[in-house]
Amino acid sequence: MRKNIALLLILFPVCGHLLDFAYYTDSYKRNWASAQAFCRKHHTDLVHIRNAKESAVFQGFGWIGLYREDASSPWKWSRGGEIAIFTMWDHNEPDQYGNCVYTNSGKWGNKDCNDNHSFLCYDKKPILVKENKTWEEALDHCRSLDAMDTDDPASLYWKHRYDLATLITPDDHTAARKSTQEATTDEVWTGLCNLAGQWLWVGGEQMQYEDLPNCPIDGFCGVLEKNGTEPFGIRDCQQKRNFLCYKRP
Ligand SMILES: *[C@@H]1O[C@H](CO)[C@@H](O)[C@H](O)[C@H]1NC(C)=O
Ligand SMILES: *[C@@H]1O[C@H](CO)[C@@H](O)[C@H](O)[C@H]1NC(C)=O
Ligand SMILES: *[C@@H]1O[C@H](CO)[C@@H](O)[C@H](O)[C@H]1NC(C)=O
């Protein structure tokens, strides 16, 4: 069984960071929805390709994370449901047949979602920063990572690519807890903060936890505990500790 597994890990550096891809083929071939479920279970999601540089990295063939609900819907990415801006359609693609997208050496085409194909997953791992900072200093640090335009006078880190980590799914938590084991503090800051009595993820994602204790007062932020079992803890934002940044979806 093991012998049939064809899994290729591709590591490529993006401004000093590594994006991890995993390619599944041969006995792993499956339909788009099942490939998506597999990637979400074992990695982050089916791959999300945002630009020509990322597209150039993967020259094999298989499902990617792009799909549409039906022939009259927009093309969206599996991760976050974002409408696709960058595309690499092949000649005469897409056509009206098929709502799931397949890449063939970097050129995309739509196919029947029920067909079984190889597929490509990616891992979005949080980055642990082993410096002791207040929540706000930590936020600045994350947003300055690989920032696209820090010269824009209108906003400090306009179009920032990184943020303090948003941890939504159980898989996000598992990956974050793993990274946190290397921290020099027992707890690390995450992107959870309390703004005017409302808990929110600073990265913009919707609050997922219904069981949060009633918000205390302003000035409290969320941590992930190295050894804890709770999804988060609540601390004074002025305390200094290590923190987790993540690349925004
Ligand atoms: C895809 O693979 C599954 C499981 O092996 C099989 O049941 C199914 O018929 C295949 N689908 C197609 C369209 O070949
Ligand atoms: C951060 O704080 C921890 C715990 O107080 C300490 O062990 C560690 O050396 C500090 N790290 C830095 C870079 O100052
Ligand atoms: C966390 O777990 C490690 C290893 O099990 C242990 O050495 C450490 O003291 C624990 N820290 C806290 C704050 O419980």
Q: Whose CA is nearest to atom 5 of ligand 1?
A: 30
**Would you state the pLDDT for residue 76?**
93
Residue 126: name the closest of 147, 105, 98, 145 by CA.
145
Cα 10 to chain center, whole Å? 17
Domain 127-247 sits in which CATH superfamily?
Mannose-Binding Protein A, subunit A (3.10.100.10)
pTM of the model: 0.56
Tell me, using a 6 A CB cutoff, whether residue 146 lines ligand 3: no
Which residues belong to CATH 3.10.100.10 in the chain? Answer: 2-123, 127-247
CATH architecture of 2-123: Roll (3.10)
Tell me, using a 6 A CB cutoff, whether residue 131 lines ligand 2: yes
Q: Whose CA is nearest to atom 3 of ligand 3?
A: 227
What is the Å distance from ligand 2's center to 18 Cα? Answer: 26
**Would you state the pLDDT for residue 125?**
75
The first and second tokens of residue 172, run together, are 């996000």
Tell me, using a 6 A CB cutoff, whether residue 206 lines ligand 3: no
What is the Å distance from ligand 2's center to 227 Cα? Answer: 17
Q: For ligand 3, pick from 227, 235, 241, 242 the residue to mutate: most ligand atoms within 8 Å of CB.
A: 227
**Would you state the pLDDT for residue 245?**
92
Tell me, using a 6 A CB cutoff, whether residue 239 lines ligand 2: no
The first and second tokens of residue 1, run together, are 């069984």
Per-residue pLDDT for the chain (249 aa), expressed as one digit of tens each?
Answer: 333 333 444 433 332 233 567 889 888 999 999 999 999 888 788 998 878 877 877 778 899 999 999 999 999 999 877 789 899 999 999 999 999 999 998 999 999 999 999 999 987 778 899 999 999 889 888 888 766 555 554 554 556 678 899 887 777 888 899 889 989 999 999 999 887 777 788 876 655 555 544 444 458 899 999 988 888 899 999 999 999 998 776
What is the Å distance from ligand 3's center to 102 Cα? Answer: 46
Q: For ligand 1, pick from 24, 102, 116, 119 the residue to mutate: most ligand atoms within 8 Å of CB.
A: 116
* Ligand in closest contact with the CA of 181: 3
CB 221 within 8 A of CB 136: no
Q: What is the DSSP letter of 116?
A: -
What is the Å distance from ligand 1's center to 117 Cα? Answer: 10
- Ligand 1: lining residues by beta carbon, under 6 Å: 31, 114-116
**Would you state the pLDDT for residue 167?**
87
Residue 53 exposed, middle or buried by CB count within 10 Å (0-12, 13-18, 19+): exposed
